[in-house]
Amino acid sequence: MYWGPTMTLDKNMRILIVDDYATMLRILRNLLKQLGFENVHDASDGKEALRRFETCRYDLVISDWNMEPMTGFELLKAVRANPETAGTKFIMITAESATENVIAAKRAGVDNYIIKPFTTEVLRGKLEAVFHQQVA
């Protein structure tokens, strides 16, 4: 079954969080839950995230950059290269704060970029910016 990407900030939208630190996945899941998003799935690196895309479609991917064996940047390019997943919203949450990284991610089609450490308010602001809607 194919679920097309949701273009609105639906609380039931399917979110895939990708990070190699289990603690970070847990923090993100809890912050998203506090913002009202419960349909949250996770993967520990880009490869695992792509495997999840084989069986499920996501409305939003929130991914770290620095992961093994596949980085968040490589995941972003793979998601954008596949016509079936190209429309998925993609937010990078990373400690990689070099200008060249942000530019490379933007060129590859990232919807927004958050530098770690971040606050719930920053996350909320980025979700609203990406979906052009307010988080209720």
Let me know: does 129 contact 121? Beta carbons within 8 Å: no
Contact flag: residue 21 with other proteins (CB under 8 A): yes
- Choose one: 3-11, 16-24, 51-59, 78-86; the region binding other proteins (CB under 8 A): 16-24
Sheet holding 40-43, edge to edge: 40-43, 15-18, 60-63, 89-94, 112-115
> Looking at 99, 107, 132, 136, which residue binds other proteins (CB under 8 A)?
99
6 or 101, CB closer to other proteins? 101
Q: How far apart are CA 29 and CA 83, in angstroms?
A: 28
107-129 CB burial, b ≥16 within 10 A, e <16: ebebbbbbeeebeeeebbebbee
Task: List 18's β-bridge partners, or say none.
Answer: 43, 63
> Looking at 42, 45, 59, 96, which residue binds other proteins (CB under 8 A)?
96
Q: How far apart are CA 3 and CA 13, in angstroms?
A: 10
Supply the minimum distance, in Å, between the C-beta of residue 13 and other proteins. 20
Binding track over 70-89 against other proteins, x by CB under 8 A? -x-xx---------------
Supply the minimum distance, in Å, between the C-beta of residue 103 and other proteins. 8
> Looking at 82, 86, 115, 133, which residue binds other proteins (CB under 8 A)?
115
Contact flag: residue 135 with other proteins (CB under 8 A): no
